[in-house]
Amino acid sequence: MAFMVASTLVRSAVRASAAVTARRAFVGARVAARPAAAHIVAATRSSSSVASVRMGMESDLRERLTALYNETPCMPIMVRLAWHDSGTYDKESGTGGPIASIRMKPEIEHDANAGLTVAMDLLEPIKKDFPDVSYADLYQLASVHAIKFSGGPDIPFRFGRQDATEKVVPTPADRLPDADKRMPHLRDIFYRMGFNDAEIVALSGAHTLGRAHKDRSGFDGPWTHVPIKFDNSYFVEITKENPDPALLRLESDMALMDDPDCQALVAKYAADQDAFFEDYSKAHVKLSELGVSF
């Protein structure tokens, strides 16, 4: 029953017209935008006052995001948006990363990003009310706040990401992982960003949230019974000998069993949610800050 309710909520969230939903979220937001000018004026003062202005802005933004998530349970797609923005990073060339290049063509048109305009449209009214925040910071904050709102860990966040401009050379379409490939492919993709095997396992646990959509990736269904709750149930489900036919298992999920050390970590996270939250948090911070100089 819980699954039915949750998946209906998630389905209705993504079915809703982005424009209509964004408008409703905007109108329904309990927190009126604070005057952005105050942030600008104060930001010209000392570094400690800049820090306190940023703290104020973060808490105002989080209140707006809470209002949005109460209205529209779009937390999973926000996590996917932030990951797809940062997951283009290449540590050798320093290109890609969390620079909001995902909002521009041709990146947004890459097959891997199908459906993500829904998330960006939902965030646009918030961006309009907070012109000082970069899109890159807003996308990453929307993700960490979505995880916390869904019952997950409180992931540290800091401002300072710069938005890409039209002058930035677009990243190629093959920077994000394919769902029908196994561990060698995942290693190619994640090592390129600077991650190791343990971090691949922890980050894959984000699939505890959300679902796949036929009209986006071609896959269909959620990974867990309550896809709007961030917990360790993704690992619990993929370690079951008899998979639940209602739940999704991508090749890239099962790839985590290809290596004995990764498999041991999957078993550990299935048994110990605190251990998962701790490792996930660290890996998520790294993902959200790839290539950024603060």
Binding site for ligand HEM (CB under 6 A): 76-77, 79-80, 83, 115, 177, 179, 186, 203-204, 206-207, 209-213, 216-217, 219, 250, 252
Catalytic: which of 84, 145, 207, 284?
Answer: 84
d(Cα 65, Cα 217) in Å, to the nearest integer? 26
Comparing every residue's Cβ against ligand HEM, the nearest one is 210
For ligand HEM, the closer CB: 129 or 253? 253
Q: CB 189 → ligand HEM: shortest distance, Å? A: 7
Cβ atoms within 10 Å, residue 55:
11
Q: CB 273 → ligand HEM: shortest distance, Å? A: 17
- Determine the residue type at 125: P
- What is the per-residue DSSP string for 222-289? ESSS-TTS-SSHHHHHHT-SS--TTS---HHHHGGGSSHHHHHHHHHHHH-HHHHHHHHHHHHHHHHT
For ligand HEM, the closer CB: 115 or 194? 115
Q: CB 31 → ligand HEM: shortest distance, Å? A: 25
Q: CB 45 → ligand HEM: shortest distance, Å? A: 36
Residue 84 is among the residues annotated as catalytic for this protein = yes
The alpha helices in the chain, defined as continuous H runs, are 2-15, 18-28, 36-43, 47-71, 75-86, 117-129, 135-149, 183-193, 197-204, 233-238, 251-254, 260-271, 273-288
For ligand HEM, the closer CB: 159 or 195? 195
For ligand HEM, the closer CB: 20 or 55? 20
Catalytic residues: 84
